[in-house]
């Protein structure tokens, strides 16, 4: 079947399904190699044990790079096809053979959407792994670290190239596991161990939503493949579609740290900084956005589900930004920022066909600049004896020039200064939010606009507190520039922060590329519209405000008490307190009640019966005196009774 | 000819004497003898009934009882001897270790 014929058959359904999927040919055929490289690395490093200590980190980097190179080859091959034939499928093996209606093949779907992620994951992943070679240099467990990182890359690739929801779910759980292992990589720190558990548990809530969504899909459509579900989506009732959409959103909220499952991300910063950069900024936390965009045909059919996605996104982008404004821990400030930026992506994804491509564009450029910012933070932390309190930094610009410059690139990108990438990817989201029209459009757009101002404020604050002003570090510290193995990935990411946005967005390159998967946006935006000038003005004012507070005056080494809002933001806007009072305490009561009932009720019955039997046996056994004559007497009595009974029957 | 009822009456008397002896005497040897008395009372009943019915079944069973009694005495006396050696006592009330 040709692509056009397949398109004609399903064309009426929705734009996403309009392009049929063709079997992969040529360079794409062994697509499983994408996963096989990092999987091999993970297996060798994790099973090989200490024998692989000497060269483990090199193998880890090499496997990730090999996957990246192959990803580039696939990308080049894909660009060679006409736009309608770019979705290619590779059937790898039958995972679950037919059980009734249930049949799952492990198939890999290579299309414009998945290849974007493949390149992001393996590309940024490789850079971060190279950085980690230097960053983890003194860690005796460096080999294990690289094993877990390869495990993460494998799972993340499975998540994005799977052609059905079940395999996606396997990858989804795999990245959750890798995230847990890596947050708790330094298990000897209680904070890290607790943070890992917290992340795992918060993610379970989301994962339960995703798995329920998949079950509902199977119950409704009898299939869990993208093709099967999307092809039949228009025939299901609106209620079911909305339910599936909301369950998928719950899954996305867990993985992407969106409200109300946001609490784990800030604590996840206990992990090594490369982990924060790769998993908790650039890739894994964006999996929720991928899930929403991938499920576009479902969300296209349910305006309510889309609306909720936008609400979650808008609420989280403000929530994260406010937290980011108050944190003194550089990594937590960046984590708040990550939450906020993913909120932008969710907002865009919730805007439907107008925003899917924008969400992916912001995701990709965010991958560059946020990874770069985190690596910069890691570089600073590395040189400051693991100090992360920005109040003890200051004046590092002269001590660490390369880090300063690359960090500045990331900074300019995230606050959206042209020509840096954030400008090209964030402004269209704000504009599209306003374009939604009506009250909701105005509210969402305003939230996004305020978020842009807050972003400028907190990022300027981070810049000023870390790199300028008086040196507030201890006298015995001598920060100097990191080795080239750490600075070169930072430089490459800085270049990405500068160029990615323009590269993706000018003349709609990415939007056109993604069109076969997510459909065509109804409106197109030129850059430098009045709104974007307005946004830019707001950014400059906010940055200026931050300069007035943190640049012109000296930053006190101990944090001032601050206003009510600051105190709240330092406590993650009481997210943990809410979880504790609403979920944890009632949960504890419930367990205590259950334990009490189990002890007194269930065990009580059993124990009473057992005690009664035991007590009566103890008394009855006294009959066994050991005196032969008493036994003889009992025999006599027994015989007499027997005879008596016989006589009685006879009579 | 003596009436069969007399045999049965004697048998009952012997059996009761034996039974009471088993219950009240402490000396293991006497207990043993009482057991033998009970067995022989039963034998007497068997033979009395055999005469009464005019067949040999009762007499044959009496032989079986004698054989069993002989075997039992052999084992029982052996046990008695060894208990007496070990405990310097033939009282059945002293050998009461096998209890609760």
From chain B, the residues in CB contact with A624 under 8 A are 99-100
B18 domain-assigned: yes
Q: Do A625 and B96 touch (CB under 8 A)?
A: yes
Look at residue A14 and tell me whether its pLDDT is greater than 80.
Answer: no
Closest residue in chain B to residue A629, using alpha carbons only: B23
pLDDT at position A3 over 50: no
Q: pLDDT value at position A94?
A: 85
User: Which one of A11-20, A96-105, B65-74 scores highest in mean pLDDT?
Assistant: B65-74
Residues in B touching A640 (Cβ below 8 Å)? none
What is the rounded CA–CA span in Å between residue A443 and residue A529?
Answer: 20
* pLDDT for res A115: 92
> Taking CB atoms and an 8 Å cutoff, what residues of chain A touch B23?
629, 632-633, 636
Reported as a single tens digit per residue, the pLDDT across A149-189 is: 999 999 999 999 998 899 999 999 999 999 999 999 998 98
**Short-list A154, A145, A150, CA closest to A173:** A154
C-beta atoms of B93 and A625 within 8 A? no
Answer yes or no: do B100 and A629 touch at CB < 8 A: no
Which alpha helices (DSSP H) does A506-583 contain, by range?
509-518, 530-546, 564-570, 575-579
User: Among B41, B38, B46, which Cα is nearest to B62's?
Assistant: B46
How many CA atoms are closer than 13 Å to the CA of A227, on its beta-carbon side? 19
On the question of pLDDT at A326 being above 50, the answer is: yes
Q: Which residues of A touch B92 (CB under 8 A)?
A: 627-629
* A507 Rama class: left (phi>0) / alpha (psi -120 to 50) / beta: left
What pLDDT score does A517 carry? Answer: 84
Contacts of B97 in chain A (CB under 8 A): 626
What residue of B is the nearest CA neighbor of A621?
A: B100
pLDDT classification of A6: cutoffs 50, 70, 90: very low
Q: What is the structure's pLDDT at B78?
A: 94
Residue of A nearest to B16 (CA): A636
Residue A17 has pLDDT above 70, yes or no: no
pLDDT at res. A8: 36
pLDDT at A5: 35
Interface list for chain B against chain A, based on CB atoms closer than 8 Å: 19, 22-24, 26, 31, 92-93, 95-100
Contact A625 B98 (CB under 8 A): no
Residue B76 lies in a domain: yes
Q: Does A624 touch chain B (CB under 8 A)?
A: yes
For A242-251, how does the pLDDT look when each residue is reduced to its tens digit (9 = 90+)?
999 999 999 9
Comparing alpha-carbon positions, the chain B residue that sits nearest to A631 is B23
For A611, the token pair is 């005690």
Instruction: Report phi then psi at A139, rounded to 5.
Output: -85, 125
* A622 to B100: CB separation less than 8 angstroms, yes or no: yes
**Nearest chain A CA: its distance from B98 CA (Å):** 5
Q: What is the pLDDT of residue A550?
A: 84
Are B22 and A632 inside 8 Å of each other by CB? yes
Residues of B in contact with A627 (CB under 8 A): 92-93, 96
Distance between CA atoms of residues A151 and A41, nearest Å: 8
Q: Do B31 and A633 touch (CB under 8 A)?
A: no
Q: A91: closest CA among A187, A177, A176, A162? A: A162
- Per-residue CA distances from A327 to A431, A566, B37 (Å): 29, 9, 105
Report pLDDT digits (tens) over A390-400: 888 888 888 88
B98 in a domain, yes or no?
Answer: no
Selected residue of B28, B37, B93 to mutate for chain A interface (largest A Cβ count, 10 A): B93
Write the pLDDT tens digit of every residue in A413-468: 999 888 888 888 888 888 888 888 788 889 999 999 999 999 999 999 999 888 88
Would an 8 Å CB–CB cutoff place A626 in contact with chain B? yes
What pLDDT shows up at residue A11?
34
**For residue A19, is pLDDT > 60?**
no
Tell me which chain A residue has its CA closest to the CA of residue B31. Answer: A629
Contact A626 B96 (CB under 8 A): yes
Q: Which of A620, A625, A629 to mutate to test the interface with B (most CBs of B within 10 A)?
A: A629
CB contact under 8 A, B100 and A621: yes
Lowest mean pLDDT among A49-53, A598-602, B2-6: B2-6
Q: Which residue of A has its CA nearest to B24?
A: A629
Inter-chain residue contact B23 with A632, CB threshold 8 Å: yes
Confidence at residue A524, expressed as pLDDT on a 0 to 100 scale = 67
Domain count, chain B: 1
- Domain of B55, in residue numbers: 4-87
- Cα separation of A517 and A357, whole Å? 9
**Which chain A residues have a beta carbon less than 8 Å from that of B19?**
636
- CATH number (domain holding residue B25): 1.10.287.3510
Nearest Cα to Cα of residue A107 among A49, A195, A168:
A168
Q: What is the pTM of this model?
A: 0.77
Inter-chain Cβ pairs, chain A and chain B, closer than 8 A? 31
B100 found inside a domain? no
| Residue B95 domain flag | no
Query: How much is the pLDDT for A523?
Result: 66
Give A636's contacts in chain B (Cβ within 8 Å).
19, 23
Residue B57 forms part of a structural domain = yes
Chain A residues 418-447 with a CB less than 8 Å from chain B = none
In a domain, B99, yes or no: no
Contacts of B87 in chain A (CB under 8 A): none
C-beta atoms of A627 and B19 within 8 A: no
The answer to whether B23 contacts A636, with C-beta atoms less than 8 Å apart, is yes
Residues of A in contact with B95 (CB under 8 A): 628
Q: Per the CB < 8 Å rule, is B31 touching A622?
A: no
What is the C-alpha to C-alpha distance for residues A360 and A428, in angstroms, rounded to an integer? 12
CB of A31 closer than 8 Å to CB of A67: no
Residue in chain A nearest B94 by alpha carbon: A627
| B93–A636 CB contact, under 8 Å | no
A626: which chain B residues are within 8 Å (Cβ-Cβ)? 96-100
pLDDT at A467: 87
A19 alpha carbon, distance to own chain's centre = 29
Nearest CB among B19, B26, B31 relative to A636 is that of: B19
The alpha-carbon gap from B53 to the nearest alpha carbon of chain A, in Å, equals: 22
Q: What is the mean pLDDT of residues A225-247?
A: 90
Under the banding of pLDDT at 50, 70 and 90, the label for residue A384 is: confident
Alpha carbons A397 and A387: distance in angstroms, whole number = 16
The pLDDT of residue A4 is above 50: no
Starting at the edge strand that comes first in sequence, how are the strands of the sheet with A102-110 ordered? A22-23, A88-99, A102-110
What is the chain A residue with the closest CA to B19?
A: A636
* Inter-chain residue contact B100 with A632, CB threshold 8 Å: no
**pLDDT number for residue A627:** 87
pLDDT at A354: 83
- In a mutational test of the B interface, the residue from A626, A631, A639 whose CB has the highest number of chain B CBs within 10 Å is A626
- Residue A284 to residue A291: CA distance in whole angstroms: 11
Helix (H, G, I), strand (E, B) or coil at A53: coil
Rounded to 5 degrees, what angle do the CA atoms A373, A423, A337 make? 40
pLDDT at B1: 63
Q: What is the 3-state secondary structure (H, E, C) of A342-393?
A: HHHHHHHHHCHHHCHHHHHHHHHHHHHHHHHHHHHHHHHHHHCCCCCEHHHC
Residue A18 has pLDDT above 70, yes or no: no
pLDDT tens across A35-87, in order?
999 999 999 999 988 888 888 899 999 999 999 999 999 999 988 888 888 88
Nearest-CA distance A615 → chain B (Å): 14
């Amino acid at each position: 079947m040709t692509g056009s014929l397949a398109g004609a058959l399903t064309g009426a359904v929705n734009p996403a399904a309009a392009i049929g999927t063709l079997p992969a040919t040529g360079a794409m055929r062994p697509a499983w190699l994408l996963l096989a490289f990092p999987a091999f690395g993970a297996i060798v490093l994790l099973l090989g044990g200490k024998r692989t200590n000497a060269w483990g980190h090199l193998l880890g980097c090499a496997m990730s790079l090999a996957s990246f190179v192959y990803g580039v080859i696939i990308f080049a091959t894909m660009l060679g096809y006409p736009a309608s034939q770019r979705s290619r499928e590779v059937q790898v093996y039958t995972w679950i053979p037919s059980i009734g209606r249930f049949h799952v093949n492990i198939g890999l779907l290579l299309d414009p959407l998945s290849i974007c992620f493949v390149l992001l994951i393996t590309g940024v992943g490789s850079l971060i792994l190279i950085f980690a070679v230097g960053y983890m240099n003194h860690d005796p467990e460096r080999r294990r670290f690289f094993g877990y990182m390869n495990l993460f890359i494998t799972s993340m690739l499975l998540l994005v190239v799977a052609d059905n929801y079940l395999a996606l779910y396997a990858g989804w759980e795999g990245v959750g596991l890798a995230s847990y292992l890596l947050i708790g990589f330094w298990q000897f720190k209680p904070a890290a161990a607790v943070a890992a558990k917290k992340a795992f548990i918060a993610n379970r809530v989301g994962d339960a939503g995703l798995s329920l969504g998949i079950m509902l899909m199977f119950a409704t459509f009898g299939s869990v493949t993208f093709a099967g579900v999307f092809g039949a989506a228009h025939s299901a009732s609106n209620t079911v579609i909305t339910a599936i959409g909301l369950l998928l959103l719950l899954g996305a909220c867990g993985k992407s740290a969106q409200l109300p499952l946001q609490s784990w991300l800030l604590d996840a910063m206990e992990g090594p900084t490369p982990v924060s950069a790769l998993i908790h900024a650039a890739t894994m936390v964006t999996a929720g956005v991928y899930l929403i965009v991938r499920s576009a045909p479902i969300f296209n059919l349910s305006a309510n589900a889309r609306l909720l996605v936008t609400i979650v996104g808008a609420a989280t982008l403000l929530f994260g930004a406010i937290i980011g404004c108050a944190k003194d821990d550089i990594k937590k400030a960046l984590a708040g920022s990550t939450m906020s930026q993913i909120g932008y992506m969710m907002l865009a994804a919730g805007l439907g066909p107008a925003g899917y491509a924008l969400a992916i564009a912001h995701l990709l450029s965010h991958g560059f600049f946020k990874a770069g910012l985190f690596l910069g933070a890691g570089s600073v932390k590395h040189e400051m004896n693991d100090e992360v309190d920005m109040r003890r930094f200051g004046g590092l610009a002269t001590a660490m020039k390369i880090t300063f410059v690359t960090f500045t690139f990331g900074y300019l990108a995230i606050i959206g200064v042209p020509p840096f990438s954030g400008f090209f990817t964030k402004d269209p989201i704000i504009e599209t939010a306003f374009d939604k029209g009506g009250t909701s459009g105005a509210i969402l757009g305003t939230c996004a606009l305020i978020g842009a101002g807050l972003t400028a404020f907190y990022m300027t604050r981070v810049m000023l507190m870390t790199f300028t002003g008086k040196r507030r570090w201890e006298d015995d510290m001598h920060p100097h520039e990191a080795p080239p193995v750490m600075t070169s990935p930072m430089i490459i990411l800085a270049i990405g922060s500068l160029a990615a946005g323009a590269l993706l967005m000018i003349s709609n390159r990415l939007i056109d590329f993604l069109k076969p998967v997510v459909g065509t946006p109804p409106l197109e935006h030129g850059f430098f519209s009045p709104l974007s000038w307005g946004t830019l003005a707001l950014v400059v004012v906010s940055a200026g405000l931050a300069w007035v507070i943190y640049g012109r005056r000296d930053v006190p080494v101990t944090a001032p008490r601050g206003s009510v809002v600051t105190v709240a933001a330092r406590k993650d806007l009481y997210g943990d307190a809410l979880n504790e009072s609403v979920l944890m305490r009632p949960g504890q009561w419930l367990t205590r009640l259950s334990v009490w009932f189990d002890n007194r009720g269930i065990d009580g019955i059993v124990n009473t019966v057992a005690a009664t039997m035991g007590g009566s046996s103890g008394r009855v056994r006294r009959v066994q005196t050991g005196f032969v004559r008493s036994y003889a007497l009992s025999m006599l009595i027994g015989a007499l009774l027997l005879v008596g009974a016989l006589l009685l029957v006879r009579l | 000819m003596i009436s069969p009822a007399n045999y049965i009456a004697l048998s009952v008397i012997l059996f009761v004497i034996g039974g009471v002896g088993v219950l009240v005497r402490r000396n293991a040897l006497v207990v043993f003898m009482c057991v033998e008395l009970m067995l022989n009372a039963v034998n007497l009943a068997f033979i009395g009934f055999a005469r009464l019915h005019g067949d040999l079944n009762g007499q044959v069973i009496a032989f079986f009882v004698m054989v069993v009694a002989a075997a039992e005495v052999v084992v029982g006396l052996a046990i008695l001897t060894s208990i007496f050696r070990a405990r310097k006592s033939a009282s059945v009330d002293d050998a009461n270790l096998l209890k609760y």
